[in-house]
C-alpha cells in the first residue's frame, strides 16, 4: 500500500527495499530532549555511528504535515532549532498531519512511523514510562502502550529515574513486552548502570538478540521489545547525586504544576541545568552507545 502521508529519503527507501539493515531514530530527543546546538551535533553523529556499524539511519519527524523517514542535515538542524515544534505522540499525529504542521516524534510515534515504513529496530536514549506518583496522576507514557502493540524493538539505556522504574516494568510485563538486557542482568537506569531491578533476559550478542526478535514476530506475538543497554562505565554518573537531583526536579515539577506532555521535557532540562551539563554529556554518550548496538542488531536481523 502506498502511504500518501509518508516521504522517505532515497537512501532509506533503497535500503528497505533491498532488505538492508536500517535503524529508526526519534526527533523529540532533538527538539525537546537536548539544547541547541548539542542536539543537532548529537543527532548527526548518531547517524554516522549507525553507518560506521553497517546500517542506514532513518531519523523520523513530521515536517509540514509529511511523515518523514530519513532527514537531510538541513532538516535535522531545523528540528533542532525551530521554536515551538510540537511534541507528537500517537494521539497528536492526525491533527499535526492534517494541518500541515511540524512535529517532533516521541518513542511511541516514531515506532508507529517506523513500522509503517518497514523498519524494525529503533535507537534512542530513554523511553517514557510510568511516572512517579502515577497512582494519583495517571501519568503513564503512551510509549508503553506502543511497545505493547507495535512491532519495533527499541534500544535504550533503561528507564530514567524521573520514572517509577518498578511500576514501568510491571506495566511492560502486563502488556507482554520482553525486556532484554544487553550484556547485563540488571536494568540500567539511564545515567547509571544499575537500578536495583532485573531485566527479563540477559542477551550476550547482537545475533542472539536478532534471533529472539525474529522468533517473536514469526510467532505473531505482536508488539515491541525493549533492549536495555547500559551507559558506558566511564560516562556513568554517581548514583546518589543523580537520584537527589532527579528528586529535586520532580518536586519542583509538582510545585509548579507541570503536567501532561510537558512533564518529561521539564524534568530533562531541569536535570541538565542542575548538573551543569554533566548529565547532558552522559546522555549524549549513552545515545551513541545505543546507536551502535542498534546498528549491530539490525545487521544481524537483516541476515535472518
Return the one option of ligand PSU, Mn ion, none that residue 142 interacts with (CB less than 5 to 8 A, by type): ligand PSU
Interatomic CA distance for residues 13 and 16, integer angstroms: 5
129 to 158: interface string for ligand PSU, x by CB under 6 A: ------------xxx---------------
Q: Which of residues 261, 286, 299, 300 is near ligand PSU by CB under 6 A? A: 261
Burial class (CB within 10 angstroms; exposed 0-12, middle 13-18, buried 19+) of 296? buried
Q: Does residue 126 interact with ligand PSU by CB under 6 A? A: yes
Q: Which of residues 21, 57, 128, 223 is near ligand PSU by CB under 6 A? A: 128
Residue 238 CB, shortest distance to ligand PSU, in Å, is 18
Return the one option of ligand PSU, Mn ion, none that residue 125 interacts with (CB less than 5 to 8 A, by type): ligand PSU
Q: Which stretch binds ligand PSU (CB under 6 A): 76-84, 176-184, 200-208, 261-269?
A: 261-269
Residue 139 CB, shortest distance to ligand PSU, in Å, is 7
Query: Which residues sit at the interface with ligand PSU, rule CB under 6 A?
Result: 26, 28-29, 33, 89, 106-107, 125-128, 141-143, 160, 261, 264, 268
Amino acid at each position: 500500500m502506498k502511504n500518501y502521508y509518508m516521504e522517505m529519503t532515497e537512501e532509506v527507501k533503497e535500503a528497505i527495499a533491498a532488505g538492508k539493515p536500517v535503524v529508526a531514530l526519534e526527533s523529540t530527543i532533538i527538539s525537546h530532549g537536548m539544547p541547541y546546538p548539542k542536539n543537532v551535533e548529537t543527532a548527526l553523529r548518531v547517524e554516522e555511528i549507525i553507518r560506521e556499524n553497517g546500517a542506514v539511519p532513518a531519523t523520523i519527524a513530521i515536517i509540514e504535515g509529511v511523515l518523514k523517514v530519513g532527514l537531510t542535515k538541513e532538516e535535522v538542524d531545523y528540528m533542532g532549532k525551530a521554536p515551538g515544534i510540537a511534541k507528537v505522540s500517537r494521539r497528536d499525529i492526525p491533527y499535526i498531519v492534517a494541518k500541515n504542521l511540524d512535529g517532533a516524534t516521541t518513542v511511541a510515534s516514531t515506532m508507529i512511523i517506523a513500522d509503517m515504513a518497514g523498519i524494525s529496530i529503533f535507537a534512542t536514549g530513554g523511553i517514557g514510562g510510568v511516572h512517579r506518583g502515577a497512582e494519583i496522576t495517571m501519568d503513564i507514557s503512551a510509549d508503553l502502550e506502543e511497545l505493547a502493540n507495535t512491532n519495533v524493538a527499541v534500544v535504550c539505556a533503561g528507564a530514567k529515574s524521573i520514572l517509577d522504574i518498578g511500576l514501568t516494568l510491571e506495566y511492560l510485563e502486563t502488556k507482554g513486552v520482553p525486556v532484554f538486557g544487553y550484556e547485563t542482568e540488571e536494568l540500567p537506569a539511564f545515567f547509571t548502570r544499575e537500578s536495583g531491578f532485573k531485566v527479563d533476559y540477559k542477551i550476550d550478542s547482537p545475533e542472539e538478540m536478532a534471533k529472539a526478535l525474529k522468533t517473536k514476530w514469526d510467532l505473531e506475538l505482536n508488539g515491541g521489545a525493549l533492549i536495555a543497554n547500559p551507559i558506558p562505565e566511564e560516562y556513568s554518573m554517581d548514583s546518589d547525586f543523580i537520584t537527589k537531583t532527579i528528586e529535586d526536579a520532580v518536586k519542583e515539577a509538582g510545585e509548579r504544576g507541570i503536567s501532561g506532555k510537558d512533564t518529561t521535557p521539564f524534568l530533562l532540562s531541569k536535570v541538565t541545568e542542575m548538573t551543569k551539563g554533566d548529565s547532558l554529556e552522559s546522555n549524549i554518550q549513552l545515545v551513541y552507545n545505543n546507536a551502535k548496538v542498534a546498528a549491530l542488531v539490525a545487521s544481524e536481523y537483516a541476515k535472518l
